[in-house]
Structure 1
Amino acid sequence: MSNLVRIAPGALTIGRPLPWDVFDADGNRLLCQGYVIQTDTQLEQLFERGRFKPRVIDVPQEDSEASGGEARCNPFTRYPDYLHALEAALAAIAKGQPDARKRLQDLAHALEQACSSSPDSSLALVHLYSVGPTIHEQIIFYGILCQLIARKFGLEEPRISILTQAALSANLALVSVADKLNALNKVLNSEQRRVIRKHPQRSIHALKATGIDNELMFTIIAQHHEQADGKGYPDGLSGADIRPEAEILALAERYVAMITKRAYRKRMNVTAARKLIANLADGSFRPAIPKALLQVLGEYPPGTLVRLENNEVGVITGRPVRARGPFARVVFDPSGNNYENPGERDTSEPGFGIRALEEPDIMPSMNFSRIWGFPE
């Protein structure tokens, strides 16, 4: 298959689910998306033999939305498309290419459709791949979270679209250095801090150079590190001077940072992250915005692993609905053996209640499309 390309060193890591299917040079599938590499030997073999299939993102037409349904918008199979489309869009912006705006809008529209038709699956992406995401993965997470928070907050659809485009482009100026900064285990120096503080304006400058002219988008990007208590940057704005869209983006970035591993600290579990978010309603943000994120997440967000009262381990697939749930698909039986066909558990039923979060050092391999009920 001539459209397969080699996997670049660093694209895969031990303990994280594969972001796409892996093939050999003849096009035979070696591993499915969701498989977790366990050893250095496996990793080396994949870099030697593995290939993946980069694709241009396919944006459904407007008139197909009503009939599209969840089966037509599987966020798991589209995940590599989102990443490929984001890299292409940011590269087009950086080079000042005239198609940059359309690339950005198409990706924002694709995320909008995923979050509208498959909100639980879209939210699961954020948690399943949060162990050590690249900067491009983090940006996709920002876009997903902004979509979900903004709707819960009650933002109008046109503003949500602009917010999503801002989320996808606000960190353009950091892309080349973000992964290196996240890997540092020491205090940032003055030059590194300067780069971080300047990135909103540099990103805006690059967007303007492509012919993009949207003042709301520029304002969101410029203000997304301001804080309601006046302690943010670059202008120390406070209160109503900060757009709610900017606060939504800031909160999305902060939540991803909480649940993401860094060289200098461990990642938080969702319980600890929820407590911090609840505290943010006391001054750093408009109270309604952290509350909206807490409502989006629920106590156990989709994509998190939990141990049930019967000692099974499952992955949360759906948030509560009408006093039922949250819902889980069991991955391990009470003895710790893999289930061949994961069954669904309603954790509101006796015997299937959630005992605790599971935080394994290495995620278990899962077939995400099958677990979330998408056609394979």
Structure 2
Amino acid sequence: MTIRRLTRSDLRVGELLAWNVFGENGALLARKGFMPSSDAQADSLVERGYVDDPAVPAPAGASTEPPSVLRLLNHAVAELEPLLHRIAAGGAGVQAELEQVALLVAQAVEIHPEVAAACILHNQRAAPYAVRHCIDTAVVAQIVARAVKRPAAEMQSMTLAALTMNVALLRLQDERGTLSDEEKALVRSHPERGVALLRQAGVTDPLWLDCVQSHHENEDGSGYPRALVGDAIALPAKLVALADRYCARVSDRPYRKPMLPNAALRDILLEARHALDAQLGAVLIRELGIYPVGTFVRLLNGEVGVVSRKGLNSTTPWVQSFIGPRGAPLDVFLQRDTRGDLSSIRDVLSADQVDANIRMDQVWGRTALP
């Protein structure tokens, strides 16, 4: 017997459930024999549910718990950092190891894309920005690529490009915000220098290299280094560019506070009018939601919580409240459906405005164990 994600093919409206369905934290969501009465109810169970399926044998010694997305991404960060420094120093023979890092990212997104997206907001101390940002970008690029059903081989090349896009810029990314003229020139040339370093390291995949070279190109030709326009930019490169810009906006830097996630998405929407692919920008917002998972919010009833998962539409996510209306921490987190009048979202808050230190597993259960 093994625990697996519930899928839409496992249940039909008007038919009895064959298993007990559990949430990420082990809470019972629906008992065996429960009958979903609507597509919305079935979709809600699929979004959150795990089942004990005796038809799927677990390997000897295997854990029956869903793997932790947070652990997978932290492992990816730890593996990526020395590889990037090796490439930057002119080293070779790293492709197989980079492919393993890409696999860790893909596994994390496959297990739970919403928790993977929440890690971008809640796991910013895991590594220096220069390394963590590459993992974050790969996560978002994967989420959007899956939504638009890109081929697996293309997604692999795109993910490897996201992991290595700034290999020629490592020393600058965690430093001050004001750059000298020489440093600005290094920034402008880093896509081409990155490609040269990757070629030196033995990378020959043309799509991987093209994505690295093109991740600062803009739809209107205002980007660099080649001032490409529209369809001259490969779609995987557009995905990396989109993810790169969102993740950079919501990241805490030594010289700049992060943007609120909803404000970052609004910026992306504005940028999509000229610099980014408008259709991909719309998919990003649809997949993350107007209030991305992991966003701190204050509800109309005065409670403070965190967006824990997407709702039935992009403006009404589910929230776990952890501070009561009078400002006292709650002993037990409360799940709120923001479609309700008193539970609707009033404000989006920064981490600095939230007087609480919550762990990811308190909100997302076993899939976010440290």
TM range (shorter): 0.7 to 0.9
Tell me if the contact between 1:130 and 1:256 (Cα under 8 Å) persists in the aligned partners.
Answer: no
Equivalent of 1:102 in 96, 101, 118: 96
Equivalent of 1:335 in 318, 326, 329: 326
Unpaired stretches in structure 1, ≥5 consecutive residues: 1-63
Q: What is the TM-score when the length of structure 2 is the normalising length? A: 0.76
Q: Which amino acid is the alignment partner of residue 294 of structure 1? A: I
Q: Distance in 2 between matches of 1:332 and 1:201?
A: 48
Equivalent of 1:179 in 174, 177, 187: 174
SS at match of 2:267: helix
Which residues of 2 match residues 296-311 of structure 1 at below 5 A? 296-311=287-302
Match of 2:363 in 1: 371
1:308-328 per-position Cα deviation (integer Å, ceiling 9, x unaligned)? 122111111101147995111
Tell me if the contact between 2:115 and 2:293 (Cα under 8 Å) persists in the aligned partners.
Answer: yes
Unpaired stretches in structure 2, ≥5 consecutive residues: 1-55
Q: Distance in 2 between matches of 1:78 and 1:365?
A: 22
Alpha-carbon shift at residue 301 of structure 1 (Å):
0.6
Which residues of 2 match residues 179-198 of structure 1 at below 5 A? 179-180=174-175, 183-184=176-177, 186=178, 188-198=179-189
1:162-209 per-position Cα deviation (integer Å, ceiling 9, x unaligned)? 1010000010111122111xx23x3x3220111111111221122112
Q: Distance in 1 between matches of 2:93 and 2:66?
A: 26
Match of 2:115 in 1: 121
Q: Distance in 2 between matches of 1:246 and 1:283?
A: 16
Tell me if the contact between 1:111 and 1:143 (Cα under 8 Å) persists in the aligned partners.
Answer: yes
Q: What is the TM-score when the length of structure 1 is the normalising length? A: 0.75
Alpha-carbon shift at residue 243 of structure 1 (Å):
0.8
Match of 2:144 in 1: 149
Over the matched positions of the two proteins, sequence identity in percent amounts to 29
Match of 2:163 in 1: 168
Equivalent of 1:284 in 275, 286, 289: 275
Q: Which is further off, 83-92 or 316-325?
A: 316-325
Tell me if the contact between 1:130 and 1:259 (Cα under 8 Å) persists in the aligned partners.
Answer: no
Q: Which amino acid is the alignment partner of residue 89 of structure 1? A: L
Q: Which amino acid is the alignment partner of residue 114 of structure 1? A: A
Q: Which is further off, 293-302 or 280-289?
A: 280-289
Match of 1:7 in 2: none
Match of 2:285 in 1: 294
1:317-342 per-position Cα deviation (integer Å, ceiling 9, x unaligned)? 10114799511111111121222332
Equivalent of 2:266 in 254, 275, 283: 275
Q: Distance in 2 between matches of 1:77 and 1:117?
A: 12
Q: Which amino acid is the alignment partner of residue 94 of structure 1? A: A
SS at match of 1:158: helix
Task: Quickly say closer, same or farther: Cα 1:217–1:87, change in 2 above 3 A.
Answer: same
Task: Quickly say closer, same or farther: Cα 1:190–1:240, change in 2 above 3 A.
Answer: same
Q: Which is further off, 234-243 or 199-208?
A: 199-208
Q: Distance in 1 between matches of 2:325 and 2:64?
A: 32
Q: Distance in 2 between matches of 1:202 and 1:308?
A: 47
Q: Distance in 2 between matches of 1:70 and 1:318?
A: 23
Alpha-carbon shift at residue 343 of structure 1 (Å):
2.5
Q: Which amino acid is the alignment partner of residue 366 of structure 1? A: I
Alpha-carbon shift at residue 258 of structure 1 (Å):
2.0
Alpha-carbon shift at residue 115 of structure 1 (Å):
0.7
Which residues of 2 match residues 69-80 of structure 1 at below 5 A? 71-80=65-74
Match of 1:230 in 2: 221
Residue 359 (1) aligns with residue 353 (2): no
Tell me if the contact between 2:192 and 2:225 (Cα under 8 Å) persists in the aligned partners.
Answer: no
Equivalent of 1:218 in 198, 209, 212: 209
1:31-84 per-position Cα deviation (integer Å, ceiling 9, x unaligned)? xxxxxxxxxxxxxxxxxxxxxxxxxxxxxxxxx9x9999943312233431221
Q: Distance in 1 between matches of 2:289 and 2:341?
A: 20
Aligned residues: 308
Match of 2:39 in 1: none
Match of 1:315 in 2: 306
Tell me if the contact between 1:318 and 1:325 (Cα under 8 Å) persists in the aligned partners.
Answer: no
Match of 2:50 in 1: none
Alpha-carbon shift at residue 261 of structure 1 (Å):
4.1
Alpha-carbon shift at residue 370 of structure 1 (Å):
3.0
Q: Which is further off, 228-237 or 83-92?
A: 83-92
Q: Distance in 2 between matches of 1:245 and 1:209?
A: 23
Q: Which is further off, 248-257 or 225-234?
A: 248-257
Tell me if the contact between 1:128 and 1:304 (Cα under 8 Å) persists in the aligned partners.
Answer: no
SS at match of 2:283: helix
Alpha-carbon shift at residue 233 of structure 1 (Å):
0.9
Q: Which amino acid is the alignment partner of residue 303 of structure 1? A: G
Alpha-carbon shift at residue 120 of structure 1 (Å):
0.7
Which residues of 2 match residues 232-251 of structure 1 at below 5 A? 232-251=223-242
SS at match of 1:317: strand
Q: Which amino acid is the alignment partner of residue 112 of structure 1? A: A
SS at match of 1:339: strand
Task: Quickly say closer, same or farther: Cα 1:69–1:153, change in 2 above 3 A.
Answer: farther
SS at match of 1:373: helix
Match of 1:84 in 2: 78
Q: Which is further off, 191-200 or 77-86?
A: 77-86
Q: Which is further off, 240-249 or 70-79?
A: 70-79
